[in-house]
Amino acid sequence: MSASTKRGLVIAIDGPAGAGKSTLAARIARAHGYINIETGAMYRALALKAIRQDVSFDDGDALLRLAEASTIKLEPELERNRVLLDGENISERIREQDVTDAASRVSVHPGVREWMVARQREMGEAGGVVMEGRDIGTKVFPNADIKIFLDADPEVRGSRRFKQNPHVATEAHAVTQEMRERDERDRTRASSPLEAANDAIKIDSTHLSLDEVIAEAERIIARKK
Q: Considering the rule CB under 6 A, would residue 186 count as an interface residue with ligand DC? A: yes
Region of 33 (left: φ > 0; alpha: ψ -120 to 50; beta: rest) is left
134 binds ligand DC (CB under 6 A): yes
Residue 43 binds to ligand DC (criterion: CB under 6 A): yes
- The verdict on 40 binding ligand DC (CB under 6 A) reads yes
Q: Which stretch binds ligand DC (CB under 6 A): 39-47, 57-65, 196-204, 216-224?
A: 39-47
Complete edge-to-edge strand list for the sheet that includes strand 129-133: 35-38, 129-133, 10-14, 146-151, 201-204
Q: Tell me which of 160, 182, 216, 221 binds ligand DC, using CB under 6 A.
A: 182
178 binds ligand DC per the rule CB under 6 A: no
The span of 40-48, 77-85, 151-159, 161-169 binding ligand DC (CB under 6 A) equals 40-48
Based on CB atoms, which residue is closest to ligand DC, 58 or 219? 58
* Size, binding site for ligand DC by CB under 6 A: 14
In the complex, what is the shortest distance from the CB of residue 189 to ligand DC, in angstroms, rounded to a whole number? 8
| Bridge partners, residue 10, by sequence | 129
Map residues 91-130 to x or -, x wherever contact with ligand DC holds by CB under 6 A.
------------xx--x-----------------------
Examine residue 133 and tell whether it contacts ligand DC (CB under 6 A). Answer: yes
Q: What is the DSSP annotation of the chain?
A: --GGGSSS-EEEEE--TTSSHHHHHHHHHHHHT-EEEETHHHHHHHHHHHHHTT--TT-HHHHHHHHHT--EEEEE-SSSEEEEETTEE-TTGGGSHHHHHHHHHHTT-HHHHHHHHHHHHHHHTTS-EEEEESSIIIII-TT-SEEEEEE--HHHHHHHHHHH-TTSSS-HHHHHHHHHHHHHHHHH-SSS-S---TTPEEEE-TT--HHHHHHHHHHHHHHH-
Is 34 or 43 the residue whose CB approaches ligand DC more closely?
43
Q: Quick one: which of 13, 135, 138, 179 contacts ligand DC (CB under 6 A)?
A: 135
Rounded least distance, CB 17 to ligand DC, Å: 5
- Binding residue (CB under 6 A) for ligand DC from 17, 25, 48, 64: 17
Alpha carbon 130 to its chain centroid, in Å, reads 11
Using CB under 6 A as the criterion, which residues of the chain lie in contact with ligand DC when the complex forms? 17, 39-41, 43-44, 103-104, 107, 133-135, 182, 186
